[in-house]
Amino acid sequence: MESLNELGELSSWLLLAAAVFYILAIGENTRARLYFQLGIGVHVVNFIKRGYDLGWIPLAEKHDTISLLALSIALVTLYLVRAEKNDRVLLYGAPLAVVFVFVSFLTNRIDGISPFLRTPWFFLHILTYFLSFGFLAAGSYLGIMYLTGGDEKLEAVQYRVMVHGWIVFTISLVLGSIWFFIAYGTYWLWTSKELWSTLTWFYLGMYLHARLMKGWRGRPAAIMGIAGFAFAVFTYFGVGTIIPSPPTLF
């Protein structure tokens, strides 16, 4: 029987194949959407195979969660392509997905899971957490598209996408608190991770409210929306790396 390491190598090749299709989708060509869909298909196969090899949903380490982040960006981008009938979002969504695919590829696999994570609440928390990142990432590049092109419709779409991201992010925090109580017997420990996640939630809520005010619509709101994704990315990658945080939270 193949070792887990050998199976993991095949999974890594699938991840790279997804990145190749995403790269092929970058550009003004008639096959861009097809390449992008193929990339998503291969990415999903990688996710399923990775879970089969491990014996649990592959969301218990950074390698897999960053891969899920890239997949979430790709899925939300495809949704925008179809809903808004605008293939130009591929020029922004595809490169962003590629970046996180390569970050995932370069992140060491652990191929293990802590007993504290073996609960459906944890997996639901992580799934919704990174799905929200997909919406926030799309809101960020839609804001950039608006600032560089001036199409007011894009800023309105950015707002709607960010609303979805904030709602899903809220759900993820609720699910995370339930998991945290099951794992550690408390809903809150005042760790840096918890504080920054809460700050991100408040910032996104502040953006959503500010955008409803007449003086904040347009460029100011677009810039705030772009910063929202940067805030969320720093919370995940920066807290625990740049800002110390005890290893109680994923």
Tell me the pLDDT tens digit for each residue of 13-27.
899 999 999 999 998
Strand partners, 243: 239
Q: Which two tokens stand for residue 231?
A: 């805030």
Answer whether 0.85 is exceeded by the pTM.
yes
Domain residue extents for the chain = 1-113, 114-250
Does 248 score more than 90 pLDDT? no
- What are the b/e assignments for 26-55, b being 16+ CB within 10 Å? beeeeebeebbebbbebbeebbebbeebbe
249 falls in which pLDDT band (50, 70, 90)?
very low
Q: Which two tokens stand for residue 134?
A: 């997909």
Cβ atoms of 59 and 118 closer than 8 Å: no
pLDDT in tens, 161-192: 999 999 999 999 999 999 988 888 877 777 88
Does 3 score more than 60 pLDDT? no
Rounded Cα–Cα distance for residues 208 and 224 (Å) = 9
Rounded Cα–Cα distance for residues 89 and 33 (Å) = 10
Task: Please state which CATH number belongs to domain 1-113.
Answer: 1.20.120
| pLDDT in the model for residue 111 | 84
Rounded Cα–Cα distance for residues 21 and 32 (Å) = 9
Cβ atoms of 8 and 109 closer than 8 Å: yes
Averaged confidence pLDDT in the chain: 89
What's the burial of 171, exposed, middle or buried (CB within 10 Å: 0-12/13-18/19+)?
middle
| pLDDT in the model for residue 243 | 63
Strand partners, 239: 243
- What are the b/e assignments for 82-108, b being 16+ CB within 10 Å? eeeebbbbbebbbebbbebbebbbeee
Does 1 score more than 50 pLDDT? no
